[in-house]
Amino acid sequence: MKIYRSLGELPGTFIKPSLTIGNFDGIHKGHQALFQKVVELAEYEAGEAIAVTFEPHPLAVLRPDNPPKRICTLEHKIELIARAHIDHLIVLPFNKEFAQTTANDFVVNILCNAIGIRHLVVGYDYAFGKGRGGNIEFLKEMGDRFGFSLHVCKAVVVNGIISSSTRIREFVSSGDMRTVQMLLGRYYQIRGIVREGKRLGGPLVGFPTANLFLKKDELSPKNGVYVVQVIYANKCYGGVMNIGYNPTFNETALSVEVHIFDFDKEIYGHPLKVNLIERLRDERRFSGPEELSRQIAKDAEKARLILASEPHLKRSCCEESELVEWEEAVA
């Protein structure tokens, strides 16, 4: 997949382009349906499949005091769009000046003149442009005028729940990772660089942990203990993770601490991917390191049982890794 970070980077022409536009935060099943339709149209036309997105999220510019938390980083979003077999991804910088672009100017100057659109695929509730002035009816009129076809995808409903970024944020915030997995079609993932902590987990508790840092704009799951799958250096491992404030040691800053099963590598400064499988319990204060250690042992035992019976773990490793060693890692 070729990536363009501005209109100025575009090659000038595309081959019979089929295109979809959106923020695509999370790349949930609703977004995946849009990509699938774009790819189908492109293949039928012997053309190219294109996605247009924005960075940062428009609401981070339009509503800076209360922007939505990111379900996935831009890096992760790009990876997921590439997996959907999109040929070209255009990442348009979104700022206050761009926010003044009218729906008419966006269609004429960007979709028609810069890209040469042939087919446009949007969701059932799509609206865009200054003041959200462009809606489905407007796009139909513009398509008739400029010679492109409009394809509107219905909402994707899973077990009675619409797959949307808003609903996914709600379920992540409540710790319901099973429903999140159902709406995303994959596990919810946290990514980060392992940073040095206070080294309490190994020496005092007997369970060494990798510490990750969540940025302010990243969506944090509900505090508590989770069963996780950890991906490091193209290998997969089981583990347990605590998100919270470590009350046993009177910490005040939010921390993400991952204990990786059967793992003894030095990974400070290295990237880690953590898939959240299931929430086990609330975070709570213990009388001291010994009581905490006993509880973590129980959490780890329960986590291993859940991981051993989880049907999607190997597939998620295959998606993330070139080298898959999942069975050995959880054995």
44-54 confidence digits (pLDDT tens): 999 999 999 99
What integer is the mean pLDDT of 167-173? 98
What integer is the mean pLDDT of 241-249? 81
Residue 23: pLDDT band by 50, 70, 90 thresholds?
very high
Average pLDDT, the chain: 90
Give phi and psi for 192, each to the nearest 5: 180, 170
Q: Reply yes or no on whether the pLDDT at 199 is more than 70.
A: no
Domain coordinates in residue numbering, the chain:
2-158, 187-330
What integer is the mean pLDDT of 134-146? 95
**DSSP for 266-310?**
--TT-EEEEEEEEEEE-----SSHHHHHHHHHHHHHHHHHHHHH-
Residue 317: pLDDT band by 50, 70, 90 thresholds?
confident
Higher pLDDT, 323 or 264: 264
Instruction: Give the dihedral sign, CA 255/73/312/165.
Output: positive
Q: Reply yes or no on whether the pLDDT at 327 is more than 80.
A: no
Higher pLDDT, 313 or 41: 41
pLDDT at 259: 95
pLDDT at 328: 44
Residue 326: pLDDT band by 50, 70, 90 thresholds?
very low
Q: Reply yes or no on whether the pLDDT at 255 is more than 90.
A: no
pLDDT at 331: 40
What integer is the mean pLDDT of 123-150? 93
Spell out the CATH class of 2-158: alpha beta
pLDDT at 109: 96
Strands ordered across the beta sheet of 49-55: 2-4, 88-93, 49-55, 18-21, 119-123, 149-153
Q: Reply yes or no on whether the pLDDT at 198 is more than 70.
A: no
Task: Give CA–CA dist 316/275, Å, rounded.
Answer: 9
Higher pLDDT, 278 or 67: 278
Among 7-16, 86-95, 127-136, 260-269, the range with the most confident prediction by mean pLDDT is 86-95
Q: Reply yes or no on whether the pLDDT at 203 is more than 80.
A: no
Residue 324: pLDDT band by 50, 70, 90 thresholds?
very low
Q: What percent of the chain has pLDDT over 70?
A: 92
Q: Which pairs from 157-160 meet CB under 8 Å and 24+ separation? A: 158/29, 158/182, 158/183
How confident is the model over 82-102, as pLDDT tens digits? 999 999 999 999 999 999 999
pLDDT at 330: 45
Under 8 Å between Cβ of 158 and 3: no
pLDDT at 291: 86
Q: Reply yes or no on whether the pLDDT at 316 is more than 90.
A: no
Closest CA to 225 of 311, 284, 312: 284
Report the topology of domain 187-330.
Answer: Elongation Factor Tu (Ef-tu); domain 3 (2.40.30)
pLDDT at 165: 96
